[in-house]
Amino acid sequence: MSDAALVYVRHQDKEQNYLQAGHTLGSWLTSTDHKRIGILYALAITFFFFIGGIAVGLVRIELMSPNGDFLTDDAYNRLFTLHGIVMVWFFLVPSIPATLGNFLLPMMIGAKDVAFPKINLLSWYIFIVGACFAVVSIVAGGVDTGWTFYTPFSTMFSNGDVIAAAAGVFIVGFSSIATGVNFITTVHMLRAPGMTWFRLPLFVWAIYATSVVMVLATPVLAMSLLLIIAERWLGMPIFNPANGGDPILFQHLFWFYSHPAVYIMVLPAMGVVSEIFACFARRRVFGYAMMVYAMMSIAVIGFFVWGHHMFVSGQSQYANFVFSFLSFIVAVPSAIKVFNWTATLFRGQITFEAPMLYALGFLGLFTIGGLTGLFLASVPIDVHVTDTYFVVAHFHYIMVGGSVSAFFAGLHFWWPKITGRLYSEAWARFAAIVMFLGFNTTFMPQFIMGYAGMPRRYHVYPPEFQIWHVMSSVGALVLFVAYTLPLIYLTWSLFYGKKAGDNPWAATGLEWQTASPPPKHNFAELPHVKAPPYRYHPDRQAPEAEDRKPETQQGAM
């Protein structure tokens, strides 16, 4: 074996990079290039992130005082609903898979594009159509059912624009399904020669697991929403108790999707941080096989725990017992992953660039969020804290502290590859730290309030909770700053950032073995894979500080 010399397969070809291949708006809107589609998605979700953020900004301003002096009851209810619907379906669910996944998946497996490039573009258009319905619903005054659309309030009592909102989410679901079908087929059918399943980067496994969940869970949401629309628009009595209908049936159908949905939102994040820990600790991910099994177990077991959202709904105690047990079980693979990521740091050569700071933030915040999940899995505990701010804090620790941190981590890690530019490391590190502090200030008080009995979705509240609400709102302001900073310095870097080389991080992975930005067809010649991923150091030898030149998966030429 050579002395671990740099083995880049440089693709110094005359081919333009994907950004140069067509400069018109039309070339972007009709492109079937997975890289461009990833960017189209990135623009769309960034827009919705700020819409959802403004909505909750107004909510948090209102909540600084216990009385409803800033917003009316109805306006408040519509704003928190808007926040939930937009953040879940128009930001989090597509975020990592449709942006980073689209951009990187084919490159990571050594393919020229996804399996069905035209369907990929179609999925973006479907997203936009669904988004239009959502915008229509917002402009028409909004919806106040909460993102959960519980019946019979949503079908028979709400006077918001439930049909438009439900239709928007219904349509956007098909975008998810199309993406899922595409990614699953891509991973099965387009791996480069030598890229066996257990040589895949963990990000690819994560996207694959996510896609399986998207394909199997999202249709059930679609049916739930269709039934609501049928009841509200056509008068079909499905959940109306006067006709023998059961409102709890809606909850079962809704949560059968919405619990796996949270794994759709967190599995890709796990994939991202796996790549980042390996690169910035210069170590192979500890326990690669277990990491794969853990992700697949989470995807599977995640389908059988939905009833833990319904412990006080009136379902039987036997059901509560079973769902509680399975919910404790599903926590085990997540815990394993936390241990393995921590162990990946052991005897590494760790550096703390922005992606690593975000990834470390993910690790801590996901651990806290996950442990509070154990509280909620216990039926007696849940009976008190469900529908309070305890639950709100729990899921924000995972979705925001976890998934959004990981999204930023990935965005910064692959920014040089996607844009060919380096961002300002000083500003990025500053933003990462501000985000971590702002996040904890916002959400830690919410655990306390929830335990103390502060219900969620409350516009006015008993005055003893004010101190916690004020703390939380101050934190939200800090978070707003932390999210705006990257918007500024990343955009700045597009025009004035230093040009990035092919592999500024000296990372392994096929995507780094091609130019930054990549050529339109990703590789001049398809790679032939000869080795497992994360070859940051020889087999049993921990990396030394000077080793910044990893061996690639293609091995020695």
Partner 1 sequence: MTGAFPATASAYAGEWDRFFFMLTAISGLIVLAIFIVIVGFSIRYRRGSKAKRGMLPGAITNEIELGWTSATAIVFVFLFWWAAVDQLKNVVPPGHALEIHVLAKQWMWKVQQPNGVREIDELHAPVGRPVRLIMTSQDVIHSLFLPALRLKQDVLPGRYTYLWFTADKPGVYHLLCSEFCGTEHSRMTGRLVLMTAADYARWSAAQPGAEDLAADGEKLFRSLGCSGCHAPQSSVHAPDLNNVYGHKVQLSDGRSIVADEAYLRDSILLPQKDVVAGFDPIMPSFRGIVGDGDMVKLIAYLKSLASKRERP
Partner 2 sequence: MSEVSPVVHEPWPSFERQKMAVSFGMWVFIASEVLFFSGLLLAYTIYRHLDAEAFKIASRETEVFYGGTNTAILLTSSLTMAMAVHASDHGFRRMTIRCLAATVAFGLAFLVMKGFEYHSDLDKGLWPGPGFPLHPATTQLFWAFYWIATGVHAVHLSVGIGIVSTIAVRLKRGTLLVKASTFEGAALYWHLVDTIWIILLPMIYLVGRA
C-alpha span between 149 and 168 (Å, rounded): 13
Site for partner 1 in 117-156 (CB under 8 A): 144-146, 150-153, 156
CB of 230 to partner 1, least distance (A): 19
CB of 72 to partner 1, least distance (A): 9
Minimum CB distance to partner 1 smaller for 187 or for 294: 294
Q: Which is nearer to partner 2, 236 or 322 (CB)?
A: 236
- Restricted to residues 515-554, the positions that interact with partner 2 (CB under 8 A) are 526
Of positions 460, 470, 478, 531, contacts partner 1 by CB under 8 A: 460
Q: Is 19 in the site for partner 2 (CB under 8 A)?
A: no
Q: Could you say whether residue 246 binds partner 2 (CB under 8 A)?
A: yes
- 3-state SS, residue 549: coil
In angstroms and rounded to an integer, the radius of gyration of the C-alpha atoms of the chain is: 23
Interaction pattern, residues 307-346, with partner 1; x per rule: CB under 8 A: -----xxx--x--xx--xx--xx-xx--xx-xxx-xx-xx
Give how far Cα 331 sits from Cα of 81, 186, 374, 386, Å: 28, 29, 8, 18
Smallest separation (angstroms) from partner 2 to the CB of 113:
4
Q: Which is nearer to partner 2, 116 or 427 (CB)?
A: 116
| CA angle, 370 then 376 then 382, to 5° | 165
Residues in contact with 296: Cβ distance below 8 Å, sequence separation at least 6, in sequence order: 205, 209
Q: Least distance from C-beta 512 to partner 2, angstroms?
A: 20
Minimal distance, residue 375 CB to partner 1, in Å: 6
- When asked if residue 65 is in the footprint of partner 1 (CB under 8 A), the reply is no
Beta bridge partners of 388: 455
Closest approach of partner 1 to the CB of residue 229, in Å: 18
| Closest among 435, 416, 437 to 427, alpha carbons compared | 435
Total residues contacting partner 2 by CB under 8 A comes to: 44
> What would the two tokens of residue 70 be?
């800033």
Q: Who's near 487: CB < 8 A, 6+ residues apart?
A: 46
**Closest to partner 2 by CB, 77 or 224:** 224
CB atoms within 10 A of CB 381: 15
Structure-block tokens of residue 381: 């505990």
What distance, in Å, lies between the first and last C-alpha atoms of the chain? Answer: 11
Q: Assess contact for 97 and 210: CB atoms under 8 A.
A: yes
Residue numbers 119-178 binding partner 2 by CB under 8 A: 177
Residue 244 main-chain phi, psi, to 5 deg: 85, 5
User: Taking Cα atoms as reference points, which of 44, 36, 43 lies closest to residue 103?
Assistant: 36
Using the contact rule CB under 8 A, the part of the chain among 46-54, 97-105, 119-127, 281-289 near partner 1 is 281-289
Min separation Cβ 369 and partner 1, Å: 11
**Which residues, 434 to 463, sit near partner 2 by CB under 8 A?**
none
- Binder of residue 312, out of partner 2, partner 1, none (CB less than 5 to 8 A by kind): partner 1
CB 252 within 8 A of CB 306: yes
Distance of CA 540 to the CA centre of its chain: 34
Q: Minimum distance between the CB of residue 505 and partner 1, rounded to whole angstroms?
A: 13
What is the footprint of partner 2 within residues 254-293 (CB under 8 A)? Answer: 256
Q: How far apart are CA 307 and CA 22, in angstroms?
A: 50
Structure tokens at 442: 């916002």
How many residues sit in the footprint of partner 1 (CB under 8 A)? 94
Token pair 């990833």 in the structure block, residue: 38
C-alpha to C-alpha distance for 468 and 470, rounded to whole angstroms: 5
If binding is defined by CB under 8 A, does position 114 make contact with partner 2?
Answer: yes
* Region from 4-12, 14-22, 43-51, 380-388 binding partner 1, contact rule CB under 8 A: 380-388
Its sign, for the CA torsion 99, 396, 490, 549, is: negative
Q: Does 375 bind partner 2 (CB under 8 A)?
A: no
Match 């004035």 to its residue by tokens.
496
Contact flag: residue 379 with partner 1 (CB under 8 A)? yes
Q: Which of 144, 139, 141, 148 is nearest to 169 (CA)?
A: 148
Which residue is listed with tokens 């880049």? 8
Site map (CB under 8 A) of partner 2, residues 69-108, x = contact: -------------------------------------x--
Among 119, 296, 374, 524, binds partner 1 (CB under 8 A): 374
Partner that binds at residue 248, options partner 2, partner 1, none, CB closer than 5 to 8 Å by kind: partner 1
Site for partner 2 in 210-229 (CB under 8 A): 215-220, 222-224, 226-227
363 near partner 1, rule: CB under 8 A:
yes
**CA pair distance 146, 202, nearest whole angstrom:** 35
Is 9 a binding residue for partner 2 by CB under 8 A? The answer is: no
Q: Does 290 sit near partner 1 (CB under 8 A)?
A: yes
Residues contributing to the site for partner 2 (CB under 8 A): 32, 106, 111-117, 177, 180-182, 184-185, 188-190, 215-220, 222-224, 226-227, 230, 234-238, 242-246, 249, 253, 256, 526
